[in-house]
Amino acid sequence: MVQVVVDKPLAQGFDYLWDAQKLGLEPAIGQVVEVPFGRSSLIGIVIKVSAHSDFDIEKLKGVQALAPLPPLDSAVLRLMNFASQYYIHALGETIIPTIPQMWKKPDDWKKIPRKLAAAEERKKKKNQEALSEGYISAAQLNEEQKRALNALAKCSSKKQFKAILLQGQTGSGKTAVFLNWLSEILEDKSAQVLILVPEINLTPQLERRVRAYFPDKKMAVLHSAVPEKQRGMAWYEAMTGEAQIILGTRLAALTPMPNLKAVVVDEEHDPSYKQQDGIRYSARDLAIWRAHDVKAPILLSSATPSLETWMAARAGRYEYIRLDQRAQGASLPKVHLINTRDPQNQFSPGDVGRPANKSPITKTLVNAISKNLTQKKQSLILINRRGYAPVLSCSACSWLSSCQQCSSYMVMHKAGALGRRPLLSCHHCGLVKAIPEHCPDCGNADLKVLGQGTQKIEDSIEEIWPNARVLRIDTDSSKKSKGAEELFQEVHNGNVDLVVGTQMIAKGHDYQNIGLVAVLDADSRLFSQDFRAAERLFAQLVQVAGRAGRAGLDGQAGGDIYIETQYPEAAVFQYLLRHDVDGFLAHTANERDEAKLPPFSYQGLVHAEAKSLMKALQFLGDLKARLRAAGLITKGLKVYDPVPKAIMRVAGTERAQLVIESENRKVLQEVLEALDHDLRENSQGRISKGERIRWLIERDPISI
């Protein structure tokens, strides 16, 4: 008899009979199986093996098939159990989505052994092409880096859990240091190490660097852009212990690794470590729990640590290692704040070099870019908005290009970007429409764009510098042409002078000839209802500033970063001006402490989605009332009023939320569990009976 969990929001497992003769093996916890469920069948995981059932044996059904896999190991099952409890998600729903598709197709299970062999052959060929790109041995490290490596080695020598913050500006050699550290750990021939990166776009570059260090080790690369079969294989190699290096995005944190000996979380502050649907886990936090559970060290690396991590390091709960110099001797980029309200920074009639059309870029910035061009250096221009313009408007009435399904505007994309004609597209629900020839409300033919996105900036810089080679990098251009990696390669090869792009260009790329970085729309993220907005903006500005002046010559100037803003006096910019990461974090910590916001308190969120906003709010209001009636709103707990979400309507669904906060983790956990229980009683799955409201409980939300 076995108990099996399936991918459903059900708290309990189900009992099945086990026919060892038919299945060819004795039952074991962690096995992946196919079981009959209702009128069809489902994939499940064995979580218990027992001699008896509380149910009538006669009525029990049998396990149908067994996947050709070893059982999931006990450590990964402990992790799943923890994640399921902490994030208030059923166990089956937590485990099963982490298993690659290839292992969830019972029809294929019989064919798999042959496939494995074929993949093996391909792997061998690939490994022979190992490169030596970016290899810096321990002996080549500078003094500061050597000290960091020694401190790390000390942490790992004890074979105990230790969380370590490695804080150092971009280009200080954090990657070089942690790869040398991992190379010591991997001298143990059976050891496995996990390297987490925030974004798919960052994996190819890091993958090449890791290969250079470990040409003979098997590496499993896991992220959503890896083709299905390859991912299935990589996961298999990780779970059998064959792959020693597991490199991937957040989902890799949940991969079975029976011999895990060390973890690295690169850019640990990055919001993309937080899963935003289904089980809303933080891969960084789970990785820390996991390292603790298997008694291994975990290194969190960043130029701008999250407030949570930074405070833990300052308080001595984490080991704190710093790299304060730029490895190749380049100095820090010089920060310039351009006050867009100051007329001196703007073109006036009669100015030499004034563009024919109104320029969305200030005169000061145009001059700086021109100068950088004459010095044969590249410029990066960052604007966090893809498309041509964020809104289309009527010049005669108040019509705006609102999305009919969402409470947001449809973005205008110029011809050739998404389709052959210019289009309106909603970035929230994906709705695409032709541009109306006349205003749908008043018939006026004069429609105007408001604001600007990457495409419009691209047009204007082509107009201002007709001889410069311009490249746009955003999700549209990287989908359409050759993929992001090849676009980045164009920059590396020096085939472009001006790069305009979204935050995709800000991250991780080790460009060699960027003399200037410009940020055009920083203010749009300065004022936001999300209390983490400033922290994110600061991290992004530091990150993009780090793209400037990485060129390899000792003592070379670090390049310039220009930020256009109406509010140069804002704290974010002032700390950036002084390159004062610690000052900014201390300032932010003070603000949060005063408001008792995370990390000085803990939060949970109940999401509710309905056809009408009133119903969603009512549902959450009732929930709050029940909490109060049950005496659960005690002194240490704050339950806010239900409110509509920042983007209230998406794809025709109205969305509201209820924030619950406590300075005590345990108090919060107990209330969330009580809520979960209450909601389940009155729901089918996660849809409430009656009004049919879809709900979800989230732990540690990062955007509210």
Binding-site ranges for ligand ADP (CB under 6 A): 134, 136, 140-142, 145, 168, 170-176, 327-328, 510
With respect to ligand ADP, which residue has the nearer C-beta, 142 or 339? 142
Residues 6+ apart with CB under 8 A from 274: 250, 280, 281, 282, 283, 700, 702
Q: Among ligand ADP, Zn ion, none, what binds residue 646 when CB lies within 5 to 8 Å by partner kind? A: none
With respect to ligand ADP, which residue has the nearer C-beta, 42 or 186? 186
Least separation, in Å, of the C-beta of 289 and Zn ion? 37
Q: Among ligand ADP, Zn ion, none, what binds residue 406 when CB lies within 5 to 8 Å by partner kind? A: Zn ion
If you ran DSSP here, which 8-state letter would residue 53 be given?
-
Q: Among ligand ADP, Zn ion, none, what binds residue 161 when CB lies within 5 to 8 Å by partner kind? A: none
Q: Among Zn ion, ligand ADP, none, what binds residue 537 when CB lies within 5 to 8 Å by partner kind? A: none
With respect to ligand ADP, which residue has the nearer C-beta, 510 or 691? 510
With respect to ligand ADP, which residue has the nearer C-beta, 82 or 214? 214
Least separation, in Å, of the C-beta of 47 and ligand ADP? 41
With respect to Zn ion, which residue has the nearer C-beta, 154 or 433? 433
Tokens of 514: 């960027």
Q: Among Zn ion, ligand ADP, none, what binds residue 90 when CB lies within 5 to 8 Å by partner kind? A: none
Burial class of 300 by CB neighbour count within 10 A (0 to 12, 13 to 18, 19+):
buried
Q: Among Zn ion, ligand ADP, none, what binds residue 176 when CB lies within 5 to 8 Å by partner kind? A: ligand ADP
Least separation, in Å, of the C-beta of 268 and ligand ADP? 12
With respect to ligand ADP, which residue has the nearer C-beta, 169 or 379? 169
Distance CA 124, CA 131 (A): 15
Per-position DSSP letters for 230-271, written without gaps between them: HHHHHHHHHHTT--SEEEESGGGGGS--TTEEEEEEETTT-G
With CA atoms as reference, report the closest residue to 305 among 585, 644, 1, 679: 585
Q: Among Zn ion, ligand ADP, none, what binds residue 132 when CB lies within 5 to 8 Å by partner kind? A: none
The answer to whether 47 touches 91, Cβ cutoff 8 Å, is: yes
With respect to Zn ion, which residue has the nearer C-beta, 396 or 648? 396
Least separation, in Å, of the C-beta of 142 and ligand ADP? 5
- Complete edge-to-edge strand list for the sheet that includes strand 65-66: 14-16, 2-6, 40-49, 32-37, 65-66
Q: Among ligand ADP, Zn ion, none, what binds residue 489 when CB lies within 5 to 8 Å by partner kind? A: none
With respect to ligand ADP, which residue has the nearer C-beta, 293 or 510? 510
Least separation, in Å, of the C-beta of 306 and ligand ADP? 17
Three-state SS string over 330-343 comes to: CCCCEEEEEECCCH
Tokens of 341: 């309200």
The answer to whether 252 touches 202, Cβ cutoff 8 Å, is: no
Least separation, in Å, of the C-beta of 355 and ligand ADP? 36
Displacement of CA 102 from its chain's centroid (Å):
24
Q: Among ligand ADP, Zn ion, none, what binds residue 397 when CB lies within 5 to 8 Å by partner kind? A: Zn ion
With CA atoms as reference, report the closest residue to 561 among 511, 517, 506: 517
Least separation, in Å, of the C-beta of 145 and ligand ADP? 6
| Helix/strand/coil for 192 | strand
Least separation, in Å, of the C-beta of 280 and Zn ion? 22
Three-state SS string over 395-443 comes to: CCCCCECECCCCCCECEEECCCCCCCCCEEECCCCCCEEECCCCCCCCC
Least separation, in Å, of the C-beta of 271 and Zn ion? 22
Displacement of CA 679 from its chain's centroid (Å):
29
With respect to Zn ion, which residue has the nearer C-beta, 536 or 645? 645
Least separation, in Å, of the C-beta of 397 and Zn ion? 3
Q: Among ligand ADP, Zn ion, none, what binds residue 662 when CB lies within 5 to 8 Å by partner kind? A: none
With respect to ligand ADP, which residue has the nearer C-beta, 175 or 244? 175
Least separation, in Å, of the C-beta of 405 and Zn ion? 4
Q: Among Zn ion, ligand ADP, none, what binds residue 134 when CB lies within 5 to 8 Å by partner kind? A: ligand ADP
The answer to whether 423 touches 433, Cβ cutoff 8 Å, is: yes
Least separation, in Å, of the C-beta of 329 and ligand ADP? 9
Q: Among Zn ion, ligand ADP, none, what binds residue 439 when CB lies within 5 to 8 Å by partner kind? A: Zn ion
With respect to ligand ADP, which residue has the nearer C-beta, 413 or 507? 507
Distance CA 335, CA 543 (A): 13
Angle at 424 between CA 421 and CA 427, to 5 degrees: 130
With respect to Zn ion, which residue has the nearer C-beta, 336 or 427? 427
Q: Among ligand ADP, Zn ion, none, what binds residue 390 when CB lies within 5 to 8 Å by partner kind? A: none
Least separation, in Å, of the C-beta of 316 and ligand ADP? 24
With respect to ligand ADP, which residue has the nearer C-beta, 490 or 510? 510
> What is the separation, in whole angstroms, between the first and last Cα of the chain?
45
Residues 6+ apart with CB under 8 A from 112: 68, 102
The answer to whether 165 touches 312, Cβ cutoff 8 Å, is: yes
Distance CA 517, CA 372 (A): 10
Residues 6+ apart with CB under 8 A from 292: 161, 163
Tokens of 684: 């089918």
Residue ranges binding Zn ion (CB under 5 A): 394, 396-397, 399, 403, 405-406, 426, 428-429, 431, 439, 441-442, 444
Q: Among ligand ADP, Zn ion, none, what binds residue 441 when CB lies within 5 to 8 Å by partner kind? A: Zn ion
With respect to Zn ion, which residue has the nearer C-beta, 336 or 428? 428
Least separation, in Å, of the C-beta of 214 and ligand ADP? 16
Buried b (16+ CB within 10 A) or exposed e, 202-229: bbbbbbebbbbbbeebbbbbbbeebeee
Element (H, E) at 622: helix 613-629
